[in-house]
Structure 1
């Protein structure tokens, strides 16, 4: 039997091993603390700064028999959205999707380009949506709303992205959704009674 293998560790080696163990534990605790504080993925904040309607108007009745009661309408909705990234790392998003609804029916939509919200910065997303006028005219309640001077619309904006911290070791998928309801005043195309609700999935 090899008696050298059964010799107990020297005091100096024991101290060295104990010191290495303590140092490893301290480093682990520090990394965990940093990950849960500085590098913890926080929820981005989406804000609807404004909703503007351009080119909205009802024309005069058409002349002649068989004519349409209204000449074509042109309706464009511009959504000005901000995304605030409170994290210590950049938020890279694949793009945005904005849809416009009238009485629960989707009447328009547009996709925004991909981009990056830098760490602890705010990025603006301006999306222009051309609304399908035919879909509006196909709803029997639309002309009545126009005659009453107010049209209620709903917008839904979704931004999907990813936050990578600790040099890419930690990845978190982020989905931001914002639904807004607003009333369009036909006379001056202004937005009234705007209300928005945001949800975040990490």
Structure 2
């Protein structure tokens, strides 16, 4: 049985025989649509050697509306629902959760400080992973940014969960930041430097601002 704790919230599955939250039949998330969403991602994933997606015929006890959890770098647990998820909802879910995997695999303390600065999340009292508001948790902002920057059309249909933040596509340097997480990837800044070598720092190799 899945049982885990995340920032004070305990997640575990309904067990057979326990009182359920609804008498409606549960439905599994469409595996084919989930796979299509991942195949449509434009972010380089050659470094992702193993990523398990566990589509379960259960809902979370006490959190029945939760669709998925990615609690570490190795797996995403996708839960059943009592309503039919549209392909658009599945695509959004799949790419958002993949964003969490990118976070767990490629982010570190230094990169988080850089990301917060670029994204305008420097108010650590408001933007913290223990926030009661899901939309203000930095890891959720990161996953939503990933979805909108690198998801295919269906995955990117819905706007960012946090309406108070700028569209990630309009934040200078944000897409380059994501791409810089993966070694040997040429970013837009790199291309600018190559096209305008006189603007680059001969020692640091960075474009002057």
TM superposition score category, shorter chain reference = under 0.3
Higher helix share: 2
When the two structures are superposed, what TM-score results if normalisation uses the length of structure 1?
Answer: 0.23
- Structure with larger Rg: 1
When the two structures are superposed, what TM-score results if normalisation uses the length of structure 2?
Answer: 0.22
Higher strand share: 1
